[in-house]
Amino acid sequence: MKELSREAREFILSSIRTIPDFPKPGIQFKDITTLLNNPKAFQTLMDHLEARYREYDLDYVAGIDARGFIFGAALADRLGIGFVPVRKKGKLPSTTVSEKYSLEYGFDEVEIHIDAFGENGRCESEPARVLLIDDLIATGGTAAAASRLIGKVGAQCVECCFILELGALKGRQGIDAPIYSVITI
């Protein structure tokens, strides 16, 4: 398994801006727009992800709405495989499957097309091998729901990848797939 060098990790992290008190007081928001508009940092990250996942024999990359779309689509293109969006409820135009997850005050829902990974989630006779990707894992509710969705349609979530992990929030504990975080803070 390919690991990111300490120097590359520090370079990528230094390209991510922290916005204090956004979206509410006490939150230290990690703004990836500064990573995205830094071509060298973005290329360093994408080169690493491509090298890591080249040997995984993946069929699809699924990205979580909305920042996971950016990394997921770019990685799928580099690997020569399909990209599947995991959207917020009501955003996909065809027949979908959905999964609810808890928020601090209530619930939310994500969904995918029922045929996103082929008929019954299969590539030929085997379950489709899917990498789930997003920019950040905090409490893990969205990622856990997205991982369950992949299984619900018959595909296999091979790994969940996050650019940043907020380790103190222990979001990985609720996810039933292997997890790789490029940077844990």
Catalytic residue selected from 6, 7, 55, 104: 104
Catalytic residue selected from 9, 50, 67, 122: 67
Q: What is the per-residue DSSP string for the chain?
A: -----HHHHHHHHHTSEEEET-SSTT-EEEETHHHHT-HHHHHHHHHHHHHHHGGG--SEEEEETTHHHHHHHHHHHHHT-EEEEEEETT--SS-EEEEEEEETTEEEEEEEETTBTBGGGEETTEEPEEEEEEEEESS-HHHHHHHHHHHHTT-EEEEEEEEEE-GGG-GGGG--S-EEEEEE-
Could you count the other beta carbons within 10 Å of the beta carbon of residue 156? 16
d(CA 176, CA 174): 7
Active-site annotation holds for 67 = yes
Active-site annotation holds for 17 = no
| Chain mean position to CA 64 | 5
Give the residue numbers marked as catalytic. 67, 104
